[in-house]
């Protein structure tokens, strides 16, 4: 890691946590407000939709944008440490509506344009938000995007079968919820080793490994497999190709390279890139992965804003 990168990590502005009521649902936010923002970056997480997984990424992105943009990450409903919604399960469509409600409630009065950054299923959610709010969204960046079911993936096939069984989901969620946090942190640290950041380990053990969270993670996954069984909306991607950029990984079954190739064929002039540093789909769980992806996203946004101003 270069000296400039180390300096950046040492001098980062810290993201602030805020608990927000969005259309009646308690929602975790991570925010960094710029004094005079030129635009507002809204980050949509994957599944699990726990924003603290992305703390290092968000803080690095803010710094790399020179403090010229406010940055907000919004969690999925009930992917939280506390069981605010009393066990209710939320589908993919309900999570999309939740994000649209947030924009209407919290960002309606914001005069600067919105840049959507979505990770995994968050890329699909961002695309749906772009379709419904085209006037407010200036640009979208899709990271390791899950836009269609990968029939070639045995991992996805297994997750699909598990998520479709209420009994298996209940049993797995019960097991996750019974393990004390200190025990899970010890096991996760020993299993994953040093690469994972402390914030990522904390997010997994305090937020995901809860009965209500696991049930929602698996229920949302089940609805994802139903929704994403069709091909991506090529007409929309072609129409908005100048406002969308994609980042894929080398070995990622959620955003496989055959989808990268299909986008290249369907939208020849699409902005596409492949991350070859080995940070993978879980980039936000390491400081190195968070920084690399933040640098890539910041570069895309700066280039787009520069072209737009010409």
Quick one: pLDDT at residue 135? 87
Within 10 angstroms of residue 33's Cβ, the number of other Cβ atoms is 14
> Which residues on neighbouring strands pair with residue 246, listed in sequence order?
142, 272
Grade residue 4 by pLDDT with cuts at 50, 70 and 90: low
Instruction: Report yes or no: 15 and 294 within 8 Å, Cβ to Cβ.
Output: no
| Mean pLDDT over the full length of the chain | 93
Instruction: Report yes or no: 160 and 248 within 8 Å, Cβ to Cβ.
Output: no
Instruction: Report yes or no: 15 and 30 within 8 Å, Cβ to Cβ.
Output: yes
pLDDT tens, residue by residue, 151-196 = 999 999 999 999 999 999 999 999 988 988 888 888 887 777 668 8
Distance CA 32, CA 41 (A): 10
- According to CATH, the superfamily of the domain at 3-151+230-309 is Alpha/Beta hydrolase fold, catalytic domain (3.40.50.1820)
Sequence ranges of the domains in the chain: 3-151+230-309
Task: Reduce the DSSP state of residue 271 to 3 states and report it.
Answer: strand
Residue 309 pLDDT greater than 70, yes or no = no
Instruction: Report yes or no: 71 and 4 within 8 Å, Cβ to Cβ.
Output: no
Q: Identify which has the larger pLDDT, 20 or 310.
A: 20
Instruction: Report yes or no: 296 and 275 within 8 Å, Cβ to Cβ.
Output: yes
Residue 45 pLDDT greater than 80, yes or no = yes
Residue 3 pLDDT greater than 70, yes or no = no
Distance CA 161, CA 288 (A): 33
Place of tokens 């929704």: 227
pLDDT tens, residue by residue, 260-278 = 999 999 999 999 999 999 8
């Amino acid at each position: 890691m270069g000296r400039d990168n180390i300096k950046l990590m040492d001098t980062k502005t810290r993201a602030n946590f805020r608990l927000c009521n969005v259309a009646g649902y308690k929602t975790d936010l991570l925010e960094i407000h710029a004094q005079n923002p030129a635009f507002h970056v809204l980050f949509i997480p994957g599944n699990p939709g726990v924003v603290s997984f992305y703390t290092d990424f968000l803080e690095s992105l803010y710094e790399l944008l020179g403090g010229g943009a406010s940055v907000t990450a919004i969690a999925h409903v009930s992917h939280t440490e506390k069981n605010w919604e009393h066990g209710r399960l939320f589908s993919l469509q309900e999570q999309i509506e939740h994000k649209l409600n947030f924009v209407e409630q919290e960002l309606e009065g914001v005069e600067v344009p919105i840049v959507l950054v979505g990770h995994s299923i968050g890329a699909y959610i961002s695309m749906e938000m772009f379709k419904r709010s085209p006037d407010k969204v200036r640009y979208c960046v899709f990271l390791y995007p899950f836009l269609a079911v990968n029939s070639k993936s045995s991992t996805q096939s297994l997750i699909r079968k598990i998520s479709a069984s209420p009994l298996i989901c209940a049993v797995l969620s019960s097991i996750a919820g019974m393990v004390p946090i200190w025990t899970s942190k010890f096991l996760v640290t020993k299993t994953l080793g040093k690469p994972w950041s402390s914030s990522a380990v904390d997010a997994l053990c305090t937020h995901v490994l809860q009965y209500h969270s696991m049930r929602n993670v698996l229920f949302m996954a089940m609805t994802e497999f139903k929704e994403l069984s069709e091909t991506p909306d090529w007409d929309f991607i072609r129409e908005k190709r100048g406002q969308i950029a994609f980042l894929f990984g080398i070995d990622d079954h959620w955003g496989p390279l055959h989808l990268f190739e299909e986008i290249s064929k369907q939208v020849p002039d699409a902005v596409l890139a492949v991350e070859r540093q080995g940070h993978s789909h879980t980039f936000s769980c390491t400081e190195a992965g968070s920084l690399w992806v933040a640098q890539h996203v910041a570069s895309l946004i700066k280039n787009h804003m520069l072209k737009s101003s010409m």
